[in-house]
Structures are given as structure tokens and as C-alpha cells.
Amino acid sequence: MKLLVNYSRGKEKKPIIAQVVKDTGVLITVERAIIDSSEGEALIDVPDDACWLVRDKMADLGAQVRILEHGVSLNEIECVDCGACISVCPREVFSFDADFKLQVVEERCILCGMCVEACPHQALTIPL
């Protein structure tokens, strides 16, 4: 399950993710993160059964956590199966089936948004 974690770094600059890993023993994969001097946003992946535990623990440490149940979503009416998204995706979310119909493996999506820009038909959206 993917979680989007937003936190303000404040004065102490607490290592929130490291702290949660230490306290819970849950192994967290950081899919991508943007951290600057005052705030941070990280997309993390955790095992489904540890999702709420990690969420609560991070919330206790002052982070805002959103559980992302969905990755990129495809509007099948707008999509013409061109495949412009296939090569720009860093996680190989998109592929063609034998009939050249676009297939989406949503679970792999890290919500980077590359495909959203690259789609000529505005058929892709990410829930952020």
C-alpha cells in the first residue's frame, strides 16, 4: 500500500521515516521524495497489513498521511491506445496486450506524473 506523507521539518528536523522504521520494525520503501529546508513530501510503500500502524505512528510524529488506494487511472473513453505513456514511465506501468490495447498495472505506479503530461489525449490522471 502506498502512503503520501507530508511533514513540516520544524526546528528539530526529526527523522520521521527513520523513527517509524525503528519503532515499528516495518520496512518502508521510499518511492520518491521531495524534501527542502522547511517541508518534505514522500511517497512510501509499506506492506498492506502494516499500513495503519505506519500511518498512525507517522501522524503521532506530526506528519500528515494519506493512504493512496489508487495509482494512475486511465479514462478508457479518451484513450486511443497510442502508447505514448509506455516509454516515459519509470516503473513499466503501461504495456500493450497482444491486440495492442493498453494495459495498466496500477500497483506499480509511484504517482510521478510523467505519463499524465505525455498523454496526448489527457486520458491519464493521478490522485494527488
Using CB under 8 A, which of 26, 50, 112, 118 touches other proteins?
118
Q: Is 5 in the site for other proteins (CB under 8 A)?
A: no
Q: Residue 121, class by beta-carbon neighbours within 10 Å (0-12 exposed, 13-18 middle, 19+ buried)? A: middle
Residues 67-106: x where in contact with other proteins by CB under 8 A, - otherwise, as a string: -------------xxxxxxxxx------xx--xxx-----
Q: Is 112 in the site for other proteins (CB under 8 A)?
A: no
Give the number of residues in contact with other proteins, rule: CB under 8 A.
Answer: 20
Binding site residues, other proteins, CB under 8 A: 80-88, 95-96, 99-101, 114, 117-118, 120-122
